[in-house]
Structure 1
């Protein structure tokens, strides 16, 4: 057959998917701490709104950028939660946060352009850029700097092909939350170099004792593209609704590019998203409190085992240092051994970037019993990698 595109062939599969497929292949029960899939159902009023939309026959195409009711509700949300003043014409509804990122890339990047991405960071950042024949340039988030990006180090990475920097707070996989001073410095960095700052804020309403700050509140030159999702905040991962907020010209271009990708987001799902935003928010707080409790239980269990980790202040992940458990075994191989010997599936750190070697990501989206069982299984792997 004719060859596939070189860019498609160059996309590296996610190490998380490798673990997931290996777990499914066993045909046996396993503790799943590998994916960020909330253990909760959406609130009842959200499900009812989707069902009502289907019952009323609201299944036609919508505008590329989303139904007016949802865009208006999102304008209210980003003002109330994120401090971002925007008009409806600056909002584009997307098929999840992943498509919002893809649209942002497609709108601002040409083949060969470079984007600075966090390392460790969500592997899909680089995967989508490779699809577009662009170049992901990792910037290291180092333990010695509390995993906070250092502007001085970023300066050395900028070239004539640099078009954007991607910032993720709260972080997947680290759980770190960047403070206002750091975010303002990153916005000024982007302004100084006349590049975009893409802000992935998928976990903006899941923080623990610290505020979430959106970089766009510091934007004075129209350089910030903010990306959000309903997946985590409202437990709507499979519903696939996200959105981006940016300067008007950027949003107009992104809305245009939505046409050849998905045309528009599933219309009943958009009505469900309206209900999620405008209905009671107690379900959001209940989930946030549950994740915080799971975090505390997990940290206590790891402390008892003497296994180091990064204390998360947001999202629902734990970044765990398993170098003493892996020995000289690469962490992706060790993760498969963990699955085979303890029936525990985790995200191998190497899939989040080169600096993730020797670390694993544990998802606290699993229920409490699985979180504790998974950590107990990790504890039984002492010496397994030697």
Structure 2
């Protein structure tokens, strides 16, 4: 019998997602406290469930247009305009099967094999995974503790080559909980225009910031209210999702807000991938966008409460962390305990103490020694899990934590 045919190297070399690795291991441990995955803990709002069930009951289960149901596109465009201050025609809102499929769709239209994409390090792991799966080259740009884990234009400039096509931005950040301010966001958009780069702006956590505003890069793109000098044509693609905002992780519903003129191109690429998003998910998403927003305000208050409870535990144990200004994660320094291999340490910590944390190396080499703590679950469970962390006695609080 002949051997199984080989797979392409760029497929075989897609790295393991270490978040899934530790989380799936934790799901197999009875009573484990799972702080490794960003799964909102609140039940979905009843009016959202009712809208999805109503679509099924009326047998609204057919294909939809590639770009999504017109009313859903309009609702996404309206939400984006309200939150970003950027006017968005509904024809620029493209409904996708969650932010991950949106990322794949956007990159599929922008890069060819061998093209380079600048991705944050630490950054969400599927940025690199998706670029590699498409035959592109992920090029990490450093987010360092001494710079508050914020990108620096000088670091980006050193990494640009003739093959660089896309700059990936993520604010609020997963895994860091950091948020870009107005001036940094403007400077990043200006840099992309100067270097003739596309921007994919992952804004999955735009609803969750703490005492600081969310600033969308689209504000500074061509056509935005604060367009940077030299912005002749729009180049920012904004990724939105209802997964985190409304706790709809399993319905797979999000949107890309695209520059004008990309509709036909995206239709072709979408048809070749998933054709369209489930009509049931779209109608549930429409109810989330257009209905009562109590879920969002309740979730924001809970995440803030959990952030404060978690940092109190870490402070008591002398563990350094980055003060979270957005999203629902806390980035903590466990280098005093991890022995230079945080991935192995998280597996051992799960086995010995029954707590799952996402290893910092899931998000890039800069994450060695750090862990990501999800703040979206039960408060008591969060506090109990973090109380099991090894303290760092005698260690001064690092400036990045204040």
Q: Same fold (TM over 0.5)?
A: yes
Q: Residues 379 and 262 from structure 1, CA distance in 2 versus in 1: closer, same or farther, beyond 3 angstroms? A: same
Secondary structure at the counterpart of residue 320 of structure 1: strand
Would you say the 8 A contact 2:181–2:215 is kept in 1? yes
Residue 304 in structure 1 maps to residue 316 in structure 2? yes
Would you say the 8 A contact 2:221–2:234 is kept in 1? yes
TM-score for the superposition, normalised by structure 2: 0.93
**Mapping 1:1-386, distance limit 5 Å:** 1-26=4-29, 28-220=30-222, 221-326=233-338, 328-379=339-390
Mark the runs of 5 or more structure 2 residues left unpaired by the alignment: 223-232, 394-402
Whole-Å Cα distance in 1 between the matches of residues 196 and 173 of structure 2? Answer: 25
How far off its partner does 1:381 sit?
A: 9.5
Would you say the 8 A contact 1:92–1:255 is kept in 2? no
Moved beyond 6 Å, runs of 4+ = none
Secondary structure at the counterpart of residue 283 of structure 2: helix
Secondary structure at the counterpart of residue 156 of structure 1: helix
Whole-Å Cα distance in 1 between the matches of residues 264 and 329 of structure 2? Answer: 34
Secondary structure at the counterpart of residue 201 of structure 2: strand
CA RMSD of aligned residues (A): 1.2
Mark the runs of 5 or more structure 1 residues left unpaired by the alignment: none
The number of residues matched between the two structures is: 380
Whole-Å Cα distance in 2 between the matches of residues 280 and 34 of structure 1? Answer: 30
Of Structure 1 and Structure 2, the greater helix share is in 1
Structure 1 equivalent of residue 226 of structure 2: none
TM-score for the superposition, normalised by structure 1: 0.96
Whole-Å Cα distance in 2 between the matches of residues 250 and 347 of structure 1? Answer: 36
Deviation string 1:137-157 (CA, Å, 9 cap, x unpaired) is: 000001111111100111110
Would you say the 8 A contact 1:107–1:250 is kept in 2? no
Deviation string 1:310-344 (CA, Å, 9 cap, x unpaired) is: 00000000000001122x24100110111011000
